[in-house]
Each structure stands twice: as C-alpha cells, then as structure tokens.
Structure 1
Amino acid sequence: MKQQRTTKAPPSPREDGERADIALRCEARQGTRPWSLATLGEMSRSGFRISGIPSPLPEVPLRIRIPGFQTLTAHIRWIEGDTIGCEFAQPLHVAVFDHIVRIARGG
C-alpha cells in the first residue's frame, strides 16, 4: 500500500490571529465629535492600530469609516503618543478583513 501524504498550507494571518501591516486612510470619531482623517496601521480581525485622532478619550467608543464599508465600532485599549490600539466591538468577518487588507495594499 502506498502512503498518502497530506500537506497543509501555512495559516493565513486571518486564521491564526496575526496582524496585517497596512497603511489606510479612514475617518474616525468619538461620540459627537466631528469626523477627522486618521491612518489605520496594523490590523487583525479583532483590532487595529490607528494614528491621527485628536485628544482621544479612552472611555468613549471610537468609530471608523472606510469607504465602501459600514461604520466599525471599537474600544480603545491603549494610547502611546499619537498611536492608539483598539479592539473591534465585534471581530471582523474573514471576508471583510481580507477585503480591507487587499484595498490597503492596492489590490
């Protein structure tokens, strides 16, 4: 009998929780403040890094708008200088995450 070999492809970033390095302009706001331009950095299905938010308030949810997507809500988990680490209120669906990363990388 012949032995069958099974090979498994390495997990994609979305499957094992890794972050995708991106640089994507979006709009962000907290509460009733006006929308402001910001830059999304690293992103995973569960959260992201963002910069350009004026005077962030850790206790107030952050909303981001990416053209072509519904508004996404997140909670601030840390602030370091101009950079903020956020966790999505609901993890992104795999297809949504893939699409955002593809757009950010020019695809």
Structure 2
Amino acid sequence: MKHEPFDPRSAAELAPRVPRAGITLICEVRQGSRPWAPARLEDLSPGGFRIARLPGARTELPLRIRIPGMQLLSAQIRWTRDAAVGCAFAEPLHVAVFDHIVRNADAA
C-alpha cells in the first residue's frame, strides 16, 4: 500500500475557498406551522447562513426563509448557539444569486 507524503498545510488551507459575506439583512423565517417571523440573517455563503436570533428553533424541522426579492428557500438548522442558529440551504445558492443578495444587502 502506497502512502501519500504528509502535507503540513492545515485542512483549512487545503479546503476549497467558499465565498462568504458578512452581510446583515432582514428576512422572514418559519418552521412548521408557526407564523412567519422577521429575522436578521448574517454571514451568508452559497451553502448557508446564520440567523442572529431564532428562539424556539428546532433542528429536526426544516426552515423556510423569504429573502426580499427572492423565491422561497428551504434550509436545515445545523447548529444552535444561545438563540443564534446556523443553517444550510437545501440546495446551495447559485453564485449569481449569492452575488445578487450580497449586492442588494450592501445597497440597503
């Protein structure tokens, strides 16, 4: 069995670069049959986002999110920390959609 030589670079250095934007925008979120509620979306990437505060969030239920000017998106809560939640989109955003959201958030 042949082994590859050890590469001293960290896993983070070897991982592909994923665009990430430290934006803040107000969107609407909903889980299950709960009513739509405003939420502050932060730290967006094509694969997911963070919501600053989402009390009562349940990781076993999908999250629906409405970003102004966009179609309804689905996501899954991957982690919770205090009242903040980290979410992964059910389908990653196309880079053009990601860029559009970031541009519009910066203009607001």
Q: What residue in structure 2 maps to residue 99 of structure 1?
A: 100
Q: What residue in structure 1 maps to residue 30 of structure 2?
A: 29
Shift of 1:52: 2.9
| TM-score of the two chains, using structure 1 as the length reference | 0.82
Deviations, residues 15-38 of structure 1 (Å, cap 9, x unaligned): 821311000000000011100000
Contact 1:28 1:62 in 2 (8 A): yes
Structure 2 unaligned spans of 5+ = 1-15
Q: Which has the higher strand share?
A: 2
How many aligned residue pairs are there?
Answer: 93
RMSD across aligned positions (CA): 1.4
Question: Which amino acid is the alignment partner of residue 89 of structure 1?
Answer: A
CA distance in 1, matches of 2:90, 2:41: 16
| TM-score of the two chains, using structure 2 as the length reference | 0.81
Shift of 1:66: 1.1
